[in-house]
Amino acid sequence: MHYNYKTSGVCSQNIQFDVEDGVLKNVKYVGGCNGNLQGIGRLVEGMKVEDVISKLEGVKCGFRSTSCPDQLARALKEAINN
């Protein structure tokens, strides 16, 4: 299933991704630090959603209470709970 998550409190505006049989695919951030976010997307593609959440949840960016990786974890939690 395809998801489009509007981020909050970070430089990126949204995250697009697919979840197929509990596995994360096609991660694309819109906005933000392009190279870093492409890298994150490539690293987590093919991983189980639960594993991505456990690795990325709670990561902070500087003084912010969240980050682009944390926003992906939040998006995935929302996706699996709906």
The domain spanning residue 69 has which CATH number?
3.30.390
Tens digit of each residue's pLDDT (9 = 90 or more) over 49-65: 999 999 999 999 999 99
Structural domain containing residue 41 = 2-81
Q: How many domains is the chain partitioned into structurally?
A: 1
Describe the strand order of the beta sheet including 2-6 as a list of residue ranges: 2-6, 12-20, 23-31
Distance CA 33, CA 54 (A): 22
* Global confidence as pTM: 0.96
Q: Which two tokens stand for residue 72?
A: 């992906």
Tens digit of each residue's pLDDT (9 = 90 or more) over 7-44: 999 999 999 999 999 999 999 999 999 999 999 999 99
- Mutual orientation of helices 34-44 and 49-56 as an angle, nearest 10°? 140
